[in-house]
Amino acid sequence: MQLRDGLVVIELNPVFAPETVKQFKRLAGERFYDGLSFYRVIDGFVAQGGDGSDLGELSNVPLIDAEFEINWDEEFEYIRVQSPDMFAAETGFTDGFAVARDPSTDKAWLAHCPGIVAMARNDDADSSRTDFYIVIGQAPRHLDRNMNVFGRVVYGMDVVQRIQRGPALDNGIIDDDMASTRISKLRLAADIPEDELLKAYVLDTSSKGFKKQLKKRRNRTQKFFKNKPAKVLDVCQVPIAGRITK
């Protein structure tokens, strides 16, 4: 996704949100998002973009059913981070994505950490359509299991943080369309010519190195820490580095 201030690279997650990813890919393939704006942007919360016409009520794009959680599959790559977490029985990482789990129901869902990408909707659970948001502030975990989370920013969160904010008192709505940050273009990697394609490197959350890193973050032994922190980890405060090369 190209914004005025730079490139934002999003990794999609068809395992947790197959129909949402399918629709998003179709829309991106049709260049639906090109030229549209982030029209609802609340600092410390979310940047929401798309056509903005009240979530596309006048649109002929089909609605997407709720994809709030999935059944846990023992085959998933998984590393546990915290149990219990404040908002869920358990959190961890699956293929680079922060997830939460409820072992009692065997359900799992993508956690609303900074950088996650999800579909906006109305009150109806099955009313996601075209408009999406990126979390730009402290994890709004109360939205977990209530939204179709379908991706995460793996590169360019600094660019996302430059998206023009709207007035907090007005629910972040930017009335002046000229003031809002526009999506110059949004392309699928599959549609980019080979010679323009960038390589994205993401952290392997199933690696031994990552396991060690989690352990180190949970148990801070450095002499810098005069008061040893509680031996807990917020799954949304674990940096999941990504980088891009030609």
Closest separation in Å from C-beta 141 to a copy of itself: 7
Binding test (CB under 8 A) with a copy of itself, winner from 45, 78, 93, 132: 45
Binding of a copy of itself by 142 (CB under 8 A): yes
Which one of 11-19, 159-167, 188-196, 204-212 is the stretch in contact with a copy of itself (CB under 8 A)?
A: 159-167
Which one of 14-22, 70-78, 111-119, 208-216 is the stretch in contact with a copy of itself (CB under 8 A)?
A: 111-119
Do 24 and 190 touch, CB atoms closer than 8 A? no
Closest separation in Å from C-beta 237 to a copy of itself: 4
State both tokens at 160: 């996302």
Binding of a copy of itself by 6 (CB under 8 A): no
Question: From residue 165, how far is each of 30, 35, 48, 153, 235 by CA, in Å?
Answer: 27, 18, 10, 19, 26
Nearest alpha carbon to residue 213 among 81, 61, 21: 81
Binding of a copy of itself by 50 (CB under 8 A): no
Q: Which of residues 184-243 bind a copy of itself (CB under 8 A)?
A: 217, 220, 222-227, 229-230, 232, 234, 236-237, 239, 241, 243
In angstroms, the CA 46 to CA 169 distance is 14
Nearer to a copy of itself, 88 or 186 (CB): 88
User: Which phi and psi angles does 244 have, rounded to 5°?
Assistant: -130, 135
Provide the 3-class DSSP secondary structure of residue 169: helix
In angstroms, the CA 119 to CA 127 distance is 9
Which one of 18-26, 56-64, 71-79, 81-89 is the stretch in contact with a copy of itself (CB under 8 A)?
A: 81-89
**With left for phi above 0 and alpha for psi between -120 and 50, is residue 205 left, alpha or beta?**
alpha
Binding test (CB under 8 A) with a copy of itself, winner from 21, 139, 149, 186: 139
In angstroms, the CA 238 to CA 215 distance is 11
Neighbours of 29 (CB within 10 A): 13
Write the single-letter amino acid at 162.
R
Sites of contact with a copy of itself (CB under 8 A) = 43-45, 66, 68-69, 82, 85-88, 113-115, 123, 125, 136-146, 157-158, 161-162, 165, 168-169, 217, 220, 222-227, 229-230, 232, 234, 236-237, 239, 241, 243
